[in-house]
Structure 1
Amino acid sequence: MNNKILEILEFDRIKGQLAQYLVSAAGHRELMQLIPQTDYEAVKALLTETTDGADILRLENGIPIPQLADIKPQLKRLKIKANLNGTELAQITKVLQTSMSVKNFFDQMREKKIKLRVLTTQVDRLVTIPSITQRLVRSVDPDGRINDEASAKLHGIRQLITRTEAEIHQQMEKYTHGKNAKYLSDPIITMRNDRYVIPVIARYRNKFGGVVHDQSASGQTLYIEPAAVVETNNRLRQAQIEERQEMQRVLIELSQMIAPYRHDIGQNETILGHLDFINAKAHWAHDTKATLPLLSKENHVLLRKARHPLIDSQRVVTNDIKIGKDYQAIIITGPNTGGKTITLKTLGIIQLMGQSGLFIPAEEGSTIGIFDNVFADIGDEQSLEQNLSTFSGHMDGVKAILEQITSRSLVLLDELGAGTDPKEGAALAMAILDHIGSKGTMVVITTHYPELKVYGYDRAKTINASMEFDQETLKPTYKLLLGIPGRSNGLEIAQRLGIDSQIIDEAWTFVSDDSQNLNNMIGDLVEQRKKAREESEKLTKLVAENEKAQRNLDEKLTRFNEQRDKLYEQARSKANHQVSIAKKKADRIIHHLRQLEVQQGGNVKENELIDAQGQLNALHRDNPRLQHNSVLQRAKQKHDLHKGDAVLVKSYGQYGELLSKRGNHKWEVQIGILKMEVDENNLEKVAKKDLPREKNVNRRHAVRTTQTRKTSARLDLRGHRYEQAMSELSNFIDHALLNNLSTVTIIHGKGTGALRKGTQQYLQSNPRVKSFSYASPNAGGDGATIVNL
């Protein structure tokens, strides 16, 4: 693809929009190299990747890739056996960590049965090195600081430093808080030359002895290391030197450890950058409402409601653009400011975007071609340096285009033949179009020449087009009208702008009758086309609304039938239950009567007792007219839900109030201080008078908890991934609260400390947690946390 077309159509601005979504240096490198492809299979593969990215964005909110620095310089240094510093190792560690997390992310998608087209294969190429990654994470902080756990010796040295510093502070506090404090200009402990010192008033320097390390600008204060702490400071200094030496040894060891894996790490960075780039394409497509284009091997282009991606979406006018199947040349005529040039650029930039693997700013079902090149001559090519006029500049550009076109090229020419005598310019334009047509090349041009309107009507595979103007206001609507040549509105516009009517009348006498008739005919066609389009749009909108209403009705009917059957069964079960209770009572009465008969010799006959019991048993049967039963009516009323209704959440045994509807069948419910989303099948409407009340000034309902399931007071998170562990912890605390557990135990183990840190962060953020602390040494120590709710 020639570079000039990328310049003319401002392809770099599209890349600039994409850059805002990138988070990795490798992704930015890939974006810089992005150019349109000319091979069908290559374009198809790029669009398939973008489709995978769009699916992941829709289903999983995108691929989880953090900010990643450029590690190519570090890998080059490892190649020559150089040692990396902490920051450089931290950047490589992040790449290795991200490789593992991305692999886990795609494994989870496989478990969820989410099928992708091509990205899974690329992710499988990521190389994970768990043992080395864990060692790096344990040794180096994300900011490049070497951790205490990097080596046992470093851990011991830093403990010694901490103890020594505490000893120094303890010694020097005797000077800052004792009777000697009056000799200090300020009772503080500070540092000079990496030694702990105190600020002494100059005239009292002999009170302390020791070493003077600095003095104030005025000379009134001396920074003295007292003699009593010199030895302790020396020990601290020695420990600090040993710390630096051990840190340097650790950096050398870590650099040598990852050096053999530099190729795998470099490949991981490239793959992550590619995934980041796909992520960016998907996010850009979502935010701009771009869609996946269909591909035509025959270069049949059909853009539905296409819009220019660099124009504000609130202002841009969409157009249908079609070329390739029925005609290979479009001649757009009409006055300036109507949108002809933007239409050319819209077609061109959408082709470049599609052939670069980007979704396009058009409606779904749009089709693009795969052109071997897109050429354009748009704008003023006048050059003072080259002594070229506007006409000469354009002709120079057209000449270069004509030398390169093939049957699979697309040519965009703005104001073809302009800048010279109109008759000659029109003749030249027609000859150029004939030459382009003989090559089988697709071409779209704009022009003011009326002769080209007739040319467009006479030539095969050529169609006229124009940009619509409102006939009343003479203002452009920026709508492309295929099949209708543009009408010249010059005299009408001049008259509307206030040019003297005598001048306008005289101008009309110079216009031939044929031209006037042609303009009138075009004006009539434009008006009819506009009315037809408005009517079509109105009907399309009406059909869409009716289809949507029909779908909603069908869905509600299905839901109604399901709910009706369910209520019917519930009512039948409840009615049968009542009958069963009545039958048992009757059996007891009959049994009692039989005992009376036996004991007292009454005159109750056995056959009468049997007949009465049989009649009661006959009440327990299915009744086809049960839908009129009062039990069923009450059941229906319990599920007629509205905002503000009091309800029973059946699964929790809790009473609450409906706040708002969420989706088709879910409600947001307030239960005490808790808000939750509940399916309406789990709700039962109750009278507000039935709600439990608590006498207090706020008149709030008390929340009484019913145990919904057996809940253990212990949660074991060991062996779980971090995200899964945090989710289980949240659910566990919720169930513990609902089951009135006052104290629970969280077992997170010791390990790397990630689960322990995450557990404590969650407990700190939960307002229902009263307090928490590590378990006793014989109950797990810092491998378990006791939580008071």
Structure 2
Amino acid sequence: MEANEPLINEKGYLRIINGRHPLLKGKVVPICLELGKNYYAMVITGPNTGGKTVTLKTVGLLSLMAQAGLHVPAEAGTQICVFDRVFADIGDEQNLEQSLSTFSGHMKNIIEIFSQVTGKSLVLLDELGAGTDPTEGAALAMSILERLHYVKARTIATTHFSSLKSFAYDHEEIENASVEFDSETLQPTYRLLQGVAGSSNAFEIAGRLGLDQDIINRANMFLGEEQLKLKRLMENLEESQRKIYLHQQSIEEDKDKIEMLKQTLEEETLILEEKKGEILQKAREEALLIVNQSRRKIERMIKEIEKTAREKELKERKRLYHDAKITLNGMKENLITQMDEMDINANLCQDDLALGQTVFIKSLKQKGKVLDFSETGEVNLQVGVMKISTDFSDLVKVTDLSHSEQKLKRSTSSRLTFQKSQDIKSELDLRGDTLQEAIEKVDKYLDDAYLVGLNTVYLIHGKGTGVLRKGLHEYLAAHKQVKSYKLSGYNEGGSGVTIINLSG
């Protein structure tokens, strides 16, 4: 059946694309039909055996199939409306037992339809107004169509009345349609032409079926000159409309082909974009792999270089430290000697000396009392139980004993501080310590560093989990002797070393 799932709507819109009667077999000419958007009703004209009734049945069956949840024998994109009722008056309703003529049978059905029809109904009427006087039948058909149009029911009616074509032209929401008839082959094509009114082509069909041509010619004479002209005019107009419609259909088909080509191109473009994305992603992954491999290689090289540099730096540091220690020890001895030789007060003159005066003897680093003066220019002194003689230049006056002792104590403190400066280093290794142990060490270390006058010191705490580093930083932030602190650079240990600047 080659059926597809239709699109369902509740707006009264019906669009069938190449729909086929589900029971017809063999080569079937599909129909295309649209109703409910710009037009509420459609009047189909054309010759007998042209496919008008099949069109009505196809529309009705496809609507009911869709509402029953079935796929429909039409192309994708077909839209079916959900109707509350589907009414159909199709075929000859003549019944001799019930004394019903063709006309009466049709009227009975139409009366029943009017009692139930709503704006959400589909009404299918075959040969509307047939079976009675053509003039009255056409007038009645127009009135029926007008009432159905008034209630907005979707209506499709077939007819042979020419006046109904004019009626449809005069109403914007009622459209003419026809089943195509090939005037050259005198055969129906069974194609539905929407927007084009058709002719019954009775004379042509009669001739094709074998009616004597003289009879057909005589029938043309009975039409009269004016009617014949009008018939030919209508046929020419309908032929022009048919050509315009076919041209429009051709444009629509070309448009559909272009749309399909556009869709195909978009799909191919999308596939290419996906492939492009895959290729780029693969290239990125390969590039990232190369970068990671290169980075690891570089990191290994850097570590080796840093290791070599640290070894060299450690050796150089040890050498510099050893040299500095020797130099500082020499400076220490000189400084201690100089401090010992420093004047505690002003140098004495001979005139300043008096018997019994306490003086400081620099060579002995002790105090003594003046006993007397010798003729050789020396001074005789009592130092403890000893008596000695020395030169004036070896003596200094002690004006304030407590002040002199403080000077001596400060001198001794300076020597101790200097001694401590030889032992304290500019870095403290805390790796392996707990936070409490590290804080106790740092507290004493910072005091010593501050005492000896170090401006910058290094705490080596390692990277690890960062708990030790965080705790030390919190402690340093509150330390009064810490001016600032920061983590060292990459080449100095990175986050494993903290540099501290002490207050001056």
Q: TM-score, normalised by structure 2?
A: 0.51
Contact map agreement 2:6 2:79 (CA 8 A) in 1:
no
The match for 1:307 is 20
- One-letter amino acid matched to 2:239: G
Contact map agreement 1:306 1:362 (CA 8 A) in 2:
yes
Contact map agreement 2:92 2:102 (CA 8 A) in 1:
yes
In 2, distance between residues paired with 1:414 and 1:533?
Answer: 26
Aligned partner of residue 149 in structure 2, secondary structure? helix
Aligned partner of residue 476 in structure 1, secondary structure? strand
The match for 1:447 is 159
Aligned pair count? 286
Match runs of 1:61-76 below 5 Å? none
In 1, distance between residues paired with 2:104 and 2:276?
Answer: 75
In 2, distance between residues paired with 1:370 and 1:560?
Answer: 45
Contact map agreement 1:293 1:359 (CA 8 A) in 2:
no
- CA change 1:499–1:544 in 2 (3 A) is same
Contact map agreement 1:293 1:360 (CA 8 A) in 2:
no
| Structure 1 residue 290 displacement after superposition | 1.8
Match runs of 1:177-196 below 5 Å? none
Contact map agreement 1:291 1:359 (CA 8 A) in 2:
yes
Aligned partner of residue 407 in structure 1, secondary structure? coil
Identity among equivalent pairs (%)? 44
User: After the TM superposition, which of the residue ranges 360-369 and 449-458 deviates more from structure 2?
Assistant: 360-369
| Structure 1 residue 307 displacement after superposition | 2.5
The match for 1:346 is 58
- CA change 1:508–1:555 in 2 (3 A) is same
User: Is 1:357 the equivalent of 2:69?
Assistant: yes
Contact map agreement 2:47 2:181 (CA 8 A) in 1:
no
In 2, distance between residues paired with 1:568 and 1:300?
Answer: 52
Which of the numbers 98, 103, 106 marks the counterpart of 1:391? 103
- CA change 1:393–1:490 in 2 (3 A) is same
- One-letter amino acid matched to 1:536: E
- CA change 1:505–1:547 in 2 (3 A) is same
User: Is 1:522 the equivalent of 2:238?
Assistant: yes
The match for 1:472 is 184
**Which one has a bigger Cα radius of gyration?**
2
In 2, distance between residues paired with 1:550 and 1:410?
Answer: 39
**Deviations 1:135-189 (CA, angstroms, capped at 9, x unpaired):** xxxxxxxxxxxxxxxxxxxxxxxxxxxxxxxxxxxxxxxxxxxxxxxxxxxxxxx
- One-letter amino acid matched to 2:104: S
The match for 1:39 is none
Match runs of 1:393-542 below 5 Å? 393-511=105-223, 512=227, 513-542=229-258
- One-letter amino acid matched to 1:340: K
In 1, distance between residues paired with 2:36 and 2:273?
Answer: 47
In 1, distance between residues paired with 2:281 and 2:88?
Answer: 67
**Deviations 1:620-655 (CA, angstroms, capped at 9, x unpaired):** xxxxxxxxxxxxxxxxxxxxxxxxxxxxxxxxxxxx
| Structure 1 residue 432 displacement after superposition | 1.7
| Structure 1 residue 487 displacement after superposition | 1.9
| Structure 1 residue 500 displacement after superposition | 4.0
The match for 1:223 is none
Aligned partner of residue 544 in structure 1, secondary structure? helix
Aligned partner of residue 343 in structure 1, secondary structure? helix
In 2, distance between residues paired with 1:541 and 1:471?
Answer: 30
Match runs of 1:233-252 below 5 Å? none
| Structure 1 residue 538 displacement after superposition | 3.9
Aligned partner of residue 509 in structure 1, secondary structure? helix
Aligned partner of residue 128 in structure 2, secondary structure? coil
In 2, distance between residues paired with 1:472 and 1:292?
Answer: 37
In 2, distance between residues paired with 1:546 and 1:397?
Answer: 49
| Structure 1 residue 468 displacement after superposition | 1.8
- One-letter amino acid matched to 1:373: R
In 2, distance between residues paired with 1:435 and 1:554?
Answer: 53
Match runs of 1:320-331 below 5 Å? 320-331=32-43
**Deviations 1:237-267 (CA, angstroms, capped at 9, x unpaired):** xxxxxxxxxxxxxxxxxxxxxxxxxxxxxxx
Aligned partner of residue 360 in structure 1, secondary structure? coil
RMSD of aligned residue pairs (Cα, Å) = 3.2
In 2, distance between residues paired with 1:439 and 1:553?
Answer: 49
In 2, distance between residues paired with 1:534 and 1:471?
Answer: 20
User: Is 1:289 the equivalent of 2:289?
Assistant: no
| Structure 1 residue 303 displacement after superposition | 2.6
| Structure 1 residue 472 displacement after superposition | 2.5
Contact map agreement 2:13 2:37 (CA 8 A) in 1:
yes
In 1, distance between residues paired with 2:149 and 2:265?
Answer: 49
Contact map agreement 1:471 1:523 (CA 8 A) in 2:
no
The match for 1:58 is none
- One-letter amino acid matched to 2:38: D
In 1, distance between residues paired with 2:139 and 2:280?
Answer: 77
Aligned partner of residue 330 in structure 1, secondary structure? strand
- CA change 1:443–1:568 in 2 (3 A) is closer
| Structure 1 residue 499 displacement after superposition | 4.0
- One-letter amino acid matched to 1:423: T
- One-letter amino acid matched to 1:293: L
| Structure 1 residue 539 displacement after superposition | 4.6
**Deviations 1:274-302 (CA, angstroms, capped at 9, x unpaired):** xxxxxxxxxxxxx6432132212x32222
- CA change 1:290–1:569 in 2 (3 A) is closer
In 2, distance between residues paired with 1:427 and 1:300?
Answer: 28
**Deviations 1:544-586 (CA, angstroms, capped at 9, x unpaired):** 246435644763686489679979999xx9xxxxxxxxxxxxx
In 2, distance between residues paired with 1:557 and 1:301?
Answer: 38
Aligned partner of residue 404 in structure 1, secondary structure? coil
| Structure 1 residue 335 displacement after superposition | 1.0
Match runs of 1:649-664 below 5 Å? none
Q: TM-score, normalised by structure 1?
A: 0.33
- CA change 1:508–1:362 in 2 (3 A) is same
The match for 1:672 is none
In 2, distance between residues paired with 1:437 and 1:562?
Answer: 59
| Structure 1 residue 391 displacement after superposition | 1.7
In 1, distance between residues paired with 2:44 and 2:31?
Answer: 14
- CA change 1:399–1:560 in 2 (3 A) is closer
In 2, distance between residues paired with 1:360 and 1:385?
Answer: 38
- CA change 1:543–1:403 in 2 (3 A) is closer
Match runs of 1:11-30 below 5 Å? none
In 1, distance between residues paired with 2:44 and 2:121?
Answer: 19
In 1, distance between residues paired with 2:18 and 2:109?
Answer: 30
**Deviations 1:588-618 (CA, angstroms, capped at 9, x unpaired):** xxxxxxxxxxxxxxxxxxxxxxxxxxxxxxx
In 2, distance between residues paired with 1:508 and 1:394?
Answer: 31
The match for 1:233 is none
Aligned partner of residue 309 in structure 1, secondary structure? coil
- CA change 1:560–1:410 in 2 (3 A) is closer
Task: Give the ranges of 4+ consecutive aligned residues of structure 1 lying more than 6 Å apart after TM superposition.
Answer: 563-570
| Structure 1 residue 543 displacement after superposition | 4.6
User: After the TM superposition, which of the residue ranges 560-569 and 457-466 deviates more from structure 2?
Assistant: 560-569
Aligned partner of residue 472 in structure 1, secondary structure? coil
| Structure 1 residue 343 displacement after superposition | 1.2
In 2, distance between residues paired with 1:329 and 1:300?
Answer: 12
In 1, distance between residues paired with 2:185 and 2:258?
Answer: 28
Bigger proportion of residues as strand: 2
- CA change 1:561–1:450 in 2 (3 A) is same
**Deviations 1:70-98 (CA, angstroms, capped at 9, x unpaired):** xxxxxxxxxxxxxxxxxxxxxxxxxxxxx
In 2, distance between residues paired with 1:318 and 1:308?
Answer: 8
